[in-house]
A and B are shown apart, each in its own frame.
Chain A
Amino acid sequence: TQLLEQSPQFLSIQEGENLTVYCNSSSVFSSLQWYRQEPGEGPVLLVTVVTGGEVKKLKRLTFQFGDARKDSSLHITAAQPGDTGLYLCALRSGTYKYIFGTGTRLKVLA
């Protein structure tokens, strides 16, 4: 069974600070998605990365896919309270279904 470990598990920072969240797999994956989930809601897709070494930017968020396609990172610059939430990575297992990582719970304090 392919596992996705995320680190750190919890992160509490001050507004304006930078942070990086990591997602590591026990094996190579073809593509990976990052989601953010707020309490009481479903996850919302942020980005999909496909190519090894790929870097994608979404405003203050930078996503990187490892060269060997076994790991990925999410870097947030100048975090804001609105960034608070549960960040999840997910990989496609088989044709259709997705397996989610263990999650990183981020709290940004004003």
Chain B
Amino acid sequence: GAVVSQHPSWVICKSGTSVKIECRSLDFQATTMFWYRQFPKQSLMLMATSNEGSKATYEQGVEKDKFLINHASLTLSTLTVTSAHPEDSSFYICSARLPGGQPQHFGDGTRLSIL
């Protein structure tokens, strides 16, 4: 079946550091990928839609200068959390949509801890 890989799975870094998270579709091409954030014991909140070859579409309240998204190829989208602070600590999950529609397949997430 379709597989989405996220890297790294866990990162701990100091406040002020920028962190890049990768999301790859391993056996299919994904023109659209999605980035979610999930706080402990809460549901997934959509942050942005990553579009191959064009700018990402951000949800209301998500700072695009803070969360930089690049979707330079049909198999890779990256999320960079710039100048991360402790309040950015969360579980970040990406998903990719198969060509032609449903369903979306999720990566295993990246746990980000900012000290």
* Contact B42 A103, beta carbon cutoff 8 Å: yes
Q: Does B67 contact A (CB under 8 A)?
A: no
Interface set, chain A 91-107, CB cutoff 8 A to B: 92, 96-103, 105
From A33, A40, A99, contact of B46 by CB (8 A): A99
| Range of interface residues on A (Cβ < 8 Å) | 20 to 34
For the complex, count residues of B whose C-beta is within 8 A of A: 25
A74: shortest Cβ distance to chain B, in Å?
15
For the residues of A in contact with B, the DSSP-based class is: strand
- Chain A contacts to B: CB under 8 angstroms: 31, 33, 40-45, 48, 86, 88, 92, 96-103, 105
Q: Which residues of B contact A (CB under 8 A)?
A: 4, 6, 32, 34, 36, 41-46, 49, 91, 93, 95, 97, 102-109, 111
